Amino acid sequence: MSSSSPGPIQYRYDLRVEIPATDVGVLVDALEDEAFTLRNVIGAKELERQIRAQELVVAVTTEDRFATFDKDIEILSVYLSQYIIGREIVITPTLGAPKLDGALIVGRRGETERVDLDLRWDADEEAVVDEGEDLVKLAARWSTLPEWLRSSMRIKFPRLSAL
């Protein structure tokens, strides 16, 4: 009879930001003075290359939690006018299907908010399936969300207009 460990917890981080040409120079200069830890994750040269190419893309899976991911989204949201949206997904192995937990991190004008994701495990593909925002959990904390996030969620999900 063999006993096998289910393995280490994995953290998946996804971020895709289109950068307007008019903001490229400002963002490159501004991030030099910020404690922007994505620089350490993807490398300083790659970060600048992506910004100059007008698209910042991060897709990282690691065994170490990236504790400053929310802060990096906040920093980007200070310098860019659009909403900055990233995802953090935690995959905790078990002897069966892994336990999944995840959040959409939304940044706007130097403020961030987390919204729970509706995730499931596809056993055939052995992959996480991201169904988007967990509307039940979103509705449960509706009154505590900032107005800017409630407004955008009402646009995306018209049925939330009744809340």
pLDDT per residue over 38-82, tens digit each? 999 999 999 999 999 999 999 999 999 999 999 999 999 999 999
**CA 162, CA 85: separation in Å to the nearest integer?**
25
> What is the structure's pLDDT at 161?
86
Q: Is residue 91 part of a domain?
A: yes
Neighbours of 54 (CB within 10 A): 14
| Domain carrying residue 110 | 10-134
Q: Is residue 147 part of a domain?
A: no
Q: Is residue 143 part of a domain?
A: no
> What is the structure's pLDDT at 163?
84
Q: Is residue 114 part of a domain?
A: yes
C-alpha dihedral (117, 118, 123, 127), degrees to nearest 10? -30
Provide the total of helices (H) and of strands (E) in the chain, helices listed first. 6, 6
**CA 75, CA 69: separation in Å to the nearest integer?**
10
Residues of the chain with pLDDT under 70: 1-5
What letter represents residue 143's amino acid? S
Q: Is residue 106 part of a domain?
A: yes
Q: Is residue 119 part of a domain?
A: yes
> Percentage of the chain with pLDDT > 90?
91
What letter represents residue 102's amino acid? G
Q: Is residue 1 part of a domain?
A: no
> What is the structure's pLDDT at 1?
46
Q: Is residue 3 part of a domain?
A: no
Q: How many domains does the chain have?
A: 1
SS3 153: helix
